[in-house]
Structure 1
Amino acid sequence: MTLFIYLLWNVIAFFLVGYDKRQAQRGGQRIQEKTFFYDALFLGALGVLLGLYFFRHKTRHRAFTWGIPLLLILNLAILYFFWKQGVI
């Protein structure tokens, strides 16, 4: 069940990036950048990172090209800790 929630959270994060890209192209209401970082911080970094490169969105922003991969490393460390504790 925990793995399902993790995967679902990352799929949502992935499509959130795609939605923001579409809104940027159409001049619509955008998603705040801090939302992507909060999503990535709470174990959604994989989805955000894949979305950034799949949709080619925000890949010129240093905060995203360095910050999201660092948060992914943090996410993996947290997942490893939970796995060692038997939570996952």
Structure 2
Amino acid sequence: MGLIIIYKFILLYFILLNILGFLSMHIDKSRSKKSQWRIRESTLIIIAILGGSIGSYLGMKKFRHKTKHSKFKYGIPFIIFIQIIIIFFYNRLL
């Protein structure tokens, strides 16, 4: 029973972080159009590293935001790749 709760918590964590990654791309894009205060690039990258990489990537594509910046164009897919490798090897250990 306790393990199921942990898995649900982990799943909820990743769902929320990917929503945050997606929304942060949307918010930053709309603020850039209005010349308003922006979300730091380091914050956007940290969200991806902490588990919101797929949401961040989908937000990049959907809102056409940060797609010309190498750090995002190649960095976010690289983060996704590394996270997939970590998940793969973690599951092999179990």
Same fold (TM over 0.5): yes
Please classify the TM superposition score into its range, dividing by the shorter chain length. Answer: 0.7 to 0.9
Counterpart position of 2:34: 26
Give 1:23's aligned amino acid: R
Query: Aligned Cα RMSD in Å?
Result: 1.3
Q: What is the number of residues matched between the two proteins?
A: 86
Q: Structure 2 unaligned runs (5+)? A: 1-7
Among 61, 70, 73, the alignment partner of 1:62 is 70
> How far, CA to CA, are the matches of 2:68 and 2:80 in structure 1?
18
Bigger-Rg structure (1/2):
2
Q: Distance in 2 between the 1:85 and 1:8 partners?
A: 26
How far 1:59 sits from its partner (Å)? 0.6
Instruction: Work out the CA distance in 2 between the residues paired with 1:80 and 1:5.
Output: 19
Match of 1:8 among 12, 16, 28: 16
Instruction: Work out which of the residue numbers 45, 56, 68 in structure 1 matches 2:53.
Output: 45
Alignment partner, residue 36 of structure 1: 44
* Separation in 1, partners of 2:16, 2:88: 19
TM-score (norm 2): 0.82
Identity %: 31
**Which stretches in structure 1 are left out of the alignment for 5+ residues?**
none
Residue 51 of structure 1 deviates from its aligned partner by 0.4
Residue in 2 that maps onto 1:77: 85
Instruction: Please give the alpha-carbon distance, in whole angstroms, between the structure 2 residues aligned to 1:64 and 1:32.
Output: 13
- TM-score in terms of structure 1 length: 0.88
**1:12, 1:82 → 2: CA distance?**
25
Counterpart residue identity of residue 79, structure 1: I
Distance of 2:69 and 2:21 partners within structure 1 = 18
